[in-house]
């Protein structure tokens, strides 16, 4: 049961109503996490959505973005985001086997994806300055400086939603991952 009550779409006014309309237009529905954020802090949700727009126009492919978001969500234990990004990952072309491997932190058989998963896992699990070898491994499979900046942005965006959904105990409104 969520800890915070979302304003129903038909009762929303002002910034919340505008945010709902924008989300519904781009996503087709207002997911529970977005509804709760829009009800409590529309500006915070708008900031997160703006960061997602930067990601969408950046150099990372959609599968790479979903890989990052899925790794971080799994490590955070956010069942809401694991379900959401497993579904979106499938929609952008990641196979069920690949999604399962990403969540489990095991090799997918794709050297570039495996390097990305390894990099993100290492960054999330190990405090302090990242060893040069981690950055070099990512660069060795073709990721460059701008890509790595966007990987950091993707981690930041998903960390925000992971934290909020864990605090809120947001009801998952996405299919359970395969």
33-80 per-position pLDDT tens digit: 999 999 999 899 999 999 999 999 999 999 999 999 999 999 999 999
Q: Give whole-number Cα distances, 106 to 29, 32, 99, 115, 166, in Å.
A: 33, 30, 10, 11, 25
| pTM listed for this prediction | 0.94
- What's the confidence (pLDDT) of residue 137? 97
- What's the confidence (pLDDT) of residue 54? 97
- What's the confidence (pLDDT) of residue 60? 98
Q: Give the chain's domains with CATH numbers.
A: 12-178 (1.20.1290.10)
With a CB cutoff of 8 Å and minimum separation 6, the contacts of 147 are: 59, 60, 138
- What's the confidence (pLDDT) of residue 22? 86
Copy the structure tokens of residue 83. 């379900």
Beta carbons of 75 and 165 less than 8 angstroms apart: no
- What's the confidence (pLDDT) of residue 168? 97
Q: Which residues of the chain have pLDDT under 50?
A: none
Distance CA 8, CA 5 (A): 9
Distance CA 43, CA 6 (A): 15
Beta carbons of 32 and 171 less than 8 angstroms apart: yes
- What's the confidence (pLDDT) of residue 8? 85
- What's the confidence (pLDDT) of residue 17? 85
Distance CA 83, CA 64 (A): 17
Beta carbons of 154 and 120 less than 8 angstroms apart: no
Distance CA 108, CA 112 (A): 10
- What's the confidence (pLDDT) of residue 141? 98
- What's the confidence (pLDDT) of residue 29? 87
């Amino acid at each position: 049961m969520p800890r915070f009550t979302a304003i129903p779409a038909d009762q929303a006014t002002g910034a919340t109503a505008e945010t709902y309309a924008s989300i519904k237009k781009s996503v087709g529905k207002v997911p529970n996490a977005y509804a709760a954020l829009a009800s409590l802090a529309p500006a915070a949700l708008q900031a997160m959505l703006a960061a997602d727009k930067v990601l969408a126009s950046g150099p990372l492919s959609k599968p790479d973005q979903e890989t990052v978001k899925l790794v971080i969500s799994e490590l955070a234990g956010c069942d809401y985001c694991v379900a959401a990004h497993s579904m979106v990952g499938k929609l952008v072309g990641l196979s069920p086997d690949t999604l399962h491997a990403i969540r489990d932190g095991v090799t997918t058989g794709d050297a570039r994806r495996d390097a990305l998963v390894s990099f993100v896992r290492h960054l999330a699990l190990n405090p302090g300055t990242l060893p040069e070898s981690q950055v070099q491994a990512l660069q060795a499979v073709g990721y460059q400086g701008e890509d790595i900046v966007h990987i950091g942005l993707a981690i930041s965006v998903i960390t925000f939603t992971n934290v909020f959904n864990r605090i809120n105990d947001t009801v998952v409104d996405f299919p359970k991952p395969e």
